[in-house]
Structure 1
Amino acid sequence: MPFLRESDDVYELYLGTEGVELDETNPENRFALTWLDQVNAALDEVAAAGESSKKGLVITATGKFFTNGLDTDYIFAHGDKLPGYLDSVHAVYTKVLTLPVATVAAINGHAFGAGAMLALCADYRVMRTERGFWSLPEAALSMPFTAGMAALLRTRLTDATATEAMLTSRRYGADDAVAAAIVDEAVPADDLVARARAVAGERAAMAGPTLAIIKKGLRQPLLATLATQVPPSLL
C-alpha cells in the first residue's frame, strides 16, 4: 500500500508498498479502493503539515510502474459503481492539484491512463530515461475520458500533445515526453528521486495557505469540472 516518508526538506509519497519492490496484490499500483484511501490519507497529512512546515512533496513509486491507473478488475465487477469510483479518482486529482506545498512527480516507470493523469497533477515532473512510458491508452481500449479527465488533459498539456495522446494512445518515452512538454526533465534512474527532491526542496519555501489559494485560483475552471459528479451516461 502507498506510504509516506519525511526528511528534513521534503515528503516522499510512494505509490507502491514499503519493503517490497512489487506488491503481489497490486504490482501495477492500480487505483484500488484501499489504495486510494491510503493515498488520500498521505495527502491529507502533507496538506495539514503544509499549513506550517516548509517542505515539498515528491510523488514516486516502487516497482515497474509509477501507476497503471484505474482498477479494471473492480470496474468490471462493479460496473454500477463506476461513476462513484471515478468521482473518487477525481477527488485525488483535486487534492494533488491544490496542496499547499510544491509537488514533484518522479515517474519511475510506466504511467498509463489515470496514472498518467495523476502525474500531470504535480507542479513539476521528472521521468526516468532507461525504462517506462507515459501513455493514455483509452482510445485503443475503447474507453471514454470523463469530462474531468478531459479537462485535466486540456489544461496540463498543449493542444497538440493532448490531441495526439488522447486520440492515438501513443506511448511516450522520457525524451519524447520532454519534447511534447508532458514532463519537464528526463534523468537517469539513479538520479530520479534525488532530482525530484532537489526541485521540491528549491520550492519548499513557498509552502503555506497562500500557495493553496494561488493554485485554486490558477486551476479554478479545471477544479470545477473535476468536482462535477460523473453521470451514469458515461457508460
Structure 2
Amino acid sequence: MPVLDRQDDVFILDIRDDEDCMHPAWIDAVHDLLDEIETRDGPRSLVTFTENDSFSSGLSLGGAVCGASGAGQEYVADVQGLLARMLTFPVVTVAALQGHTCAAGAVLSLAHDFRVMRRDRGSWWLPGSEAGLPFTAGVSALVRARLTAQVAHEVVVTARRFDGYDALAAEIVDRIADVDTMRQLAVDMARDHNHRAGPGLGEIKARMYASVVEALWPCAPGTQEALSTPGPPTTWRTRSGRCAAPHPVREQR
C-alpha cells in the first residue's frame, strides 16, 4: 500500500503499486495521504514515485483482472475522482516515472503538473485501442487537455509506446534522467514551486481545467459552484452513492 515520506518541504508519495492495479483500497489509501498533505500549512509540494518496474498500469475490483474496464460504475467514478483531485491538487505535483507507465498509470501521470521519466528503461503508452476499449469521456478530456492535439490522437488511436527520449520529444514528459538521479531531479523540480502551495493554486487549476473536472467528476456536491467560485471540490470519493460514473466503459472481452 502507498506510503508518504518527506524530504524537507517536499512530500514523496510512494504509490507502492505491488499488484500493478488501482484497486479500491489503494485509491482510498492515496486519498488519505493526499488529505494529510492538503491539510498541512506552509510551503510544500508533492512527488509521486514508485520503486516498482511499473507506475500503476491497470484497474481492479476484487477479482477483476488488472486492466479490465468493466469494474463497476462506482469504481470507475472513484478512479476518475482521484484523477480530478490530482489535476486540481493545491500544491505543485511531479510524477517520477521509474519504469513502464501505461493505461491508468499513464493517465494518472498526466494529472500531475510535471513528469520526469527514466531515460534508459521503460515506456509510456495508452493501450486501449489494442483491446478495442474506449476511454471514458473524462479520461479523453484529460488526455486532450494535457497533450498536444497530434500526440493525443496518436497515443489514443495507435497505442504507440514512447520511450523516454520519444516521450520528451512529444512533450509527454518534461525531463528525462538516469535511474539514480531521476527521483532527486523530481524532488528538485517540485521544491522550486513550494511557495505556490495553497487554496489559490487549487482554484487556478480548477478553473483552468474546469471542463475536464466536470467530465471526470460531474456530480460531486458543489462541483459547478466550485468551478466559478473559490476552491475546487472537496469530496472526491463515491461514498454513500454520492456519484456514479456517467460514462462506464465496456467489459474487456
The alignment's TM-score, normalised by the length of structure 2, stands at: 0.83
Task: Could you tell me which runs of 5 or more consecutive residues in structure 2 were left unpaired when the two chains were aligned.
Answer: 219-243
In 2, Cα distance between the equivalents of 1:79 and 1:159?
25
Task: Could you tell me which runs of 5 or more consecutive residues in structure 1 were left unpaired when the two chains were aligned.
Answer: 18-22
**Residues 119 and 214 of structure 1: CA distance in aligned 2, closer, same or farther (over 3 Å):** same
Provide the residue aligned with 2:166 in structure 1: 176
The alignment status of 1:40 with 2:55, answered yes or no, reads: no
- 8 Å CA contact retained: 1:75, 1:82: no
- Give the share of equivalent positions with the same residue, in percent: 36
- Partner residue of 2:136 out of 138, 146, 164: 146
Q: Secondary structure at the match of 1:230?
A: coil
Q: Could you tell me how far 1:85 is from its partner in structure 2?
A: 0.9
Q: Could you tell me how far 1:7 is from its partner in structure 2?
A: 2.3
Give the CA RMSD over aligned residues: 1.9
Provide the residue aligned with 1:132 in structure 2: 122
CA deviations on 1:132-163 (whole Å, 9 max, x unpaired) are: 11010010012110000000001001110011
- 1:58-77 alignment, distance < 5 Å: 58-71=47-60, 74-75=63-64
CA deviations on 1:45-100 (whole Å, 9 max, x unpaired) are: 11111xx2201100011211111132277445998752111100001011111111
**Residues 72 and 161 of structure 1: CA distance in aligned 2, closer, same or farther (over 3 Å):** farther
- 8 Å CA contact retained: 1:3, 1:13: yes
In 1, Cα distance between the equivalents of 2:158 and 2:61?
21
Provide the residue aligned with 1:83 in structure 2: 73
The alignment status of 1:230 with 2:220, answered yes or no, reads: no
Paired residues in the alignment total 224
The alignment status of 1:96 with 2:86, answered yes or no, reads: yes
- Partner amino acid, structure 2, of 1:55: R
Q: Secondary structure at the match of 2:180?
A: helix
Q: Secondary structure at the match of 1:65?
A: coil
The alignment status of 1:4 with 2:4, answered yes or no, reads: yes
- 8 Å CA contact retained: 1:32, 1:74: no
Query: Which one is further off, 148-157 or 40-49?
Result: 40-49
- Partner amino acid, structure 2, of 1:107: L
**Residues 197 and 82 of structure 1: CA distance in aligned 2, closer, same or farther (over 3 Å):** same
* Structure whose residues are more often helix by fraction: 1
The alignment's TM-score, normalised by the length of structure 1, stands at: 0.90
The alignment status of 1:191 with 2:181, answered yes or no, reads: yes
**Residues 150 and 55 of structure 1: CA distance in aligned 2, closer, same or farther (over 3 Å):** same
Provide the residue aligned with 1:20 in structure 2: none
In 2, Cα distance between the equivalents of 1:43 and 1:11?
10
In 2, Cα distance between the equivalents of 1:93 and 1:233?
16
In 2, Cα distance between the equivalents of 1:81 and 1:33?
10
- 8 Å CA contact retained: 1:70, 1:115: no
Q: Secondary structure at the match of 1:109?
A: coil
- 8 Å CA contact retained: 2:3, 2:14: yes
